[in-house]
Amino acid sequence: MLDLTHPQTQHSPRLTIIRAMRVETKTIPNATLGAFCEENHVALMHSCTHALMHTSRGVLDGLTFATKDVFHIAGSRTGFGNPDWIRTHSAEKTTAPVVKSLLDAGADMLGRTLTDELAYSLSGENFHYGTPINSAAPDRIPGGSSNGSAAAVSGQVVDFALGTDCGGSVRLPAIYCGIMGIRPTHNRITTDGVIPFAPSFDVIGWFASDATIFEEVGSVLLDQPAMSLDVKRLIIAKDTFSLVDSSVNEVLKPIIKSLVDKFELTKEINVSQDRLAHWFEIFRTIQGSEIWANRKQWIKEFHPVFGPGIRERLEWASTIDSQTISWAHSEYVEINNYLTNLLEPDEILCLPTSPRVAPLSGTETNTLEIVYRTQAMNLLCIAGLGGLPQISLPRVTQGGLPLGLSFIGAPGSDMNLLALAVNLVSQPSF
């Protein structure tokens, strides 16, 4: 057993109003949220390099953002949620292209945000750096691994924030923190300049609390203009709702009805043919094998210290044998082909993002793993296995705690999903 202890664009009216209300003076984010990195903090306004200065004005002019601590920034060390990682890595020579795109569009980066260790968790609780405050539910975890980015947006410290999503690291914290999040089509946005996790599933996503900003960030990162909503059919993934806590289903029923009433054509399907648990096993096997392949040399060389949950997860990943990996990849090809061809460009699949509301901070590790992480990933693995875009939209509450739904689209339908977000959140019935 391995030792793992140790050109100027026309703004929308809504966005113009938002900017008119914004205070011009930018300040360092409020540290009390615990969302931002301190050990390797980088903020645009305090940067000593001109490489981070936005060079033009664009659709994001006047907006602020933050980046998960997996994006490389020239002249600074990327932390990856672990002090031993910072200690054993040098400053980066280049800045991630996705960060440059946002800066060139006029946005200001206020800083780096915390992530779970090696991005290998969905809880948002970092053994070394603490847990960012979930402003939507302060006694609850924010979700991870893009925990700091979600917390910064939920706490209104920034207008939007970058995260990464492999097994749900944008979508789940978005729901827990009561904001919008997106997992784009796989390989739609370059991951150059981002620490790899499990490349078969890794994507760059983002958070926002305002739908117009959510969409405008997408137009920059996807290099595609906003579009009119084009959805002809709503498909309810009925088998996914069978995994949801009964009390949550009761809260979601009215919103599902409002959606069914909104679309002329709707149908229900058993999206997985009752194989969600099997799908998750395929996903976690490939994910774990790729994580271990990317990190084993560093772990063996430096013996980093990992917190509870992360340590055990890596230990398990180290035991996945080649035969199991081969089997998982064979199954994955079949599942991916099915999901890739499941939806037409004008169809969307509706499902819950999470089986239940965010757990209380300090929830025991085994409970987090079995009751929350594993069950949530039975839902979250669907888009990952298909390489499909998915948005997570909060809209209702259970006892004051955020809940919501997800929508999956066909490959490349990212801007249509963002148009859907703008359309739905503007309606009181949703």
**In contact, 31 and 39? CB cutoff 8 Å:** no
Active site residue 145: yes
- Which of 101, 135, 145, 219 is labelled catalytic? 145
- Strand 64-68 vs strand 108-113: parallel, antiparallel, or unpaired? parallel
Active site residue 392: no
Query: Within 13 Å and on the Cβ side, how many CA atoms surround 126?
Result: 28
- Which of 146, 169, 354, 413 is labelled catalytic? 169
Q: What is the DSSP letter of 371?
A: I
Please tell me the chain's helix, strand, coil percentages from 3-state DSSP, rounded to the nearest 5: 40, 15, 45
Q: Is the peptide bond before 145 cis (omega within 30 degrees of 0)?
A: yes
Q: If you search the block for the tokens 């789940």, which residue do you land on?
A: 172
> Which stretch of DSSP H or E encloses residue 406?
strand 401-409
Distance between CA atoms of 70 and 280, rounded to whole angstroms? 25
Alpha helices for 133-210 (secondary structure H): 147-154, 171-176
- Would you call 234 helix, strand, or coil by DSSP? strand
Active site residue 169: yes
Strand partners, 388: none
- Strand 180-183 vs strand 233-237: parallel, antiparallel, or unpaired? unpaired
Looking at the annotation, which residues are catalytic? 68, 145, 169
